[in-house]
């Protein structure tokens, strides 16, 4: 099977984000593979281990995203394509077109995995647009995946602890959620081997994107301040709780 997995290079979730200019941020932070993409990578590697074939990671990002691409190669991805774009927070429409063109140029996808969302721009849509561009069905928020009768059967979280069981035809695009699997940690020899695996680097301009903007523009990014030191309640347990309930009821009016 030819399995593609889309990965994104994002600031570590523990990093403090410093806004720069109107709608940019300082890149002097630690970057990681997008946490949801870890589940996508693991599932792609697992499927190919069972079925045979090849896992190809595709990433749209700055040149520095090579580090994230290497981390995917260190956990079982065979080779990678990095589509270079010089934007901090590129539009999902543009990224999806770039991913689609890069995949089509490379080969015939039997399966495409991606994380359900990225933790930087939280767009929650790139994989849907990718599926549309490739003319494939898509299911997201997937927490269980298996190949069955020439198609795939997946379970998707749909709110209130409920799960939908969905049958999807192949090829298809799958948006991975936490719970799908337990991503493995890279071992040192694998990290070293990953440095030798092939990474094709191309410029987004060479892909001939038809629609370079979506009509929605990020105009301002502002930091959200923490709310500061709490009002600490004092006294015995019963006293503190009674005071809390009074405050919530009468002052805050949230009960």
Partner 1 sequence: MAKIGVWIEMGQDGVKEANLGVLTAAAGHEVYALVCSGDAEGCREVCGKYGAAKVVALAAESGALWDSPDLAARALAAAANEFDLQVVTGLGSLNGRDLLARTAAILDAPLLQDCTAVDFTAGTVEKSHFSGKTVARFECRAPLWLCSLRPNAVEPQESPVEAEVVSYTAPVSGSGGVKVLEVRRDSSGVMELTEATIIITGGRPMDSAENFQLLHECAAELGAAVGASRAAVDAGFAPHSMQVGQTGKTVSPRLYIACGLSGSVQHFAGMKTSKVIVAINTDKDAPIFGKCNYGIVGDLFEVVPVLTEVLRERA
Q: Which of residues 6-25 bind partner 1 (CB under 8 A)?
A: 11, 13-14, 16-17, 19, 23, 25
Q: What is the side-by-side order of every strand in the sheet holding 111-115? A: 151-157, 138-148, 172-176, 111-115, 2-7, 54-61, 79-84, 199-203
Tell me the closest approach of the beta carbon of residue 143 to partner 1, in angstroms: 7
Residue among 62, 63, 57 nearest 7 (CA): 57
Residues 132-191 that bind partner 1 (CB under 8 A): 132, 136-141, 143, 153, 155, 157-169, 172, 178-179
Residue closer to partner 1 by CB (options 188, 232) is 232
* Position 2 contacts partner 1 (CB under 8 A): no
Instruction: Output the CA–CA distances (angstroms, integers) from residue 82 to 2, 58, 78, 87, in the order listed.
Output: 17, 6, 14, 14
Contact of 134 with 194, CB cutoff 8 Å: no
Closer Cβ to partner 1, 61 or 194, answer by number:
61
Question: Hey, what are 20's tokens?
Answer: 């720069």
Query: Which one of the spans 62-70, 75-83, 131-139, 196-204 is the region binding partner 1 (CB under 8 A)?
Result: 131-139
Question: Which of 33, 128, 142, 204 is in the footprint of partner 1 by CB under 8 A?
Answer: 128
Least separation in angstroms between residue 241's CB and partner 1 is 5
- For the chain, state the CA radius of gyration: 22
If one counts every other C-beta atom within 10 angstroms of the C-beta of residue 241, the result is 12
Using the rule CB under 8 A, which residue among 63, 67, 205, 233 binds partner 1?
233
Q: Taking CB under 8 A as the rule, does residue 224 contact partner 1?
A: yes
The number of residues making up the chain comes to: 255
Does 108 sit near partner 1 (CB under 8 A)? no
Q: Which is nearer to partner 1, 14 or 188 (CB)?
A: 14
80 or 138: CB nearest partner 1: 138
Q: Which of residues 31-70 bind partner 1 (CB under 8 A)?
A: 35-36
Q: In terms of Cα–Cα distance, which of 81, 7, 4 is closest to 47?
A: 4
CB of 81 to partner 1, least distance (A): 22
Residue 166 in contact with residue 139, Cβ under 8 Å?
yes
Give residues 193-222 in contact with partner 1 (rule: CB under 8 A). 211, 214-222
The reply on whether position 121 binds partner 1 by CB under 8 A is yes
Residues near 253 by Cβ (< 8 Å), separated by ≥ 6? Answer: none
28 in contact with partner 1 (CB under 8 A): no
Q: How far apart are the first and last CA of the chain?
A: 55
């Amino acid at each position: 099977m030819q399995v593609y997995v889309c990965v994104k290079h994002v600031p570590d979730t523990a990093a403090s984000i410093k806004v720069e200019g109107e709608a940019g941020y300082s890149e002097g932070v630690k970057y990681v593979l997008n946490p949801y993409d870890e589940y996508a990578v693991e599932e792609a590697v697992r499927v190919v281990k069972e079925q045979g074939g090849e896992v190809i990671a595709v990433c749209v990002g700055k040149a520095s995203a090579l580090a994230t691409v290497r981390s995917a190669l260190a956990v079982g991805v065979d080779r990678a394509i990095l589509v270079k774009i010089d934007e901090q927070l590129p539009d999902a429409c543009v990224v999806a077109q770039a991913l689609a063109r890069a995949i089509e140029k490379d080969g015939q996808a039997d399966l495409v995995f991606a994380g359900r969302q990225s933790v930087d721009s939280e767009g929650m849509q790139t994989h849907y647009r990718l599926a549309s561009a490739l003319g494939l069905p898509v299911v997201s928020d997937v927490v269980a995946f298996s190949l069955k009768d020439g198609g795939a059967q997946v379970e998707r979280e749909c709110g209130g602890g409920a799960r939908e069981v969905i049958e999807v035809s192949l090829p298809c695009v799958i948006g991975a959620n936490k719970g799908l699997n337990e991503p493995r940690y890279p071992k040192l020899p694998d990290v070293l081997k990953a440095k030798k695996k092939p990474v094709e680097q191309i410029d987004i301009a060479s892909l001939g994107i038809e629609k370079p903007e979506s009509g929605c523009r990020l105009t301002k990014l502002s930091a959200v301040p923490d709310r500061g030191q709490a009002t600490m309640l004092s006294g015995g347990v019963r006293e503190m709780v009674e005071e809390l309930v009074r405050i919530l009821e009468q002052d805050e009016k949230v009960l």
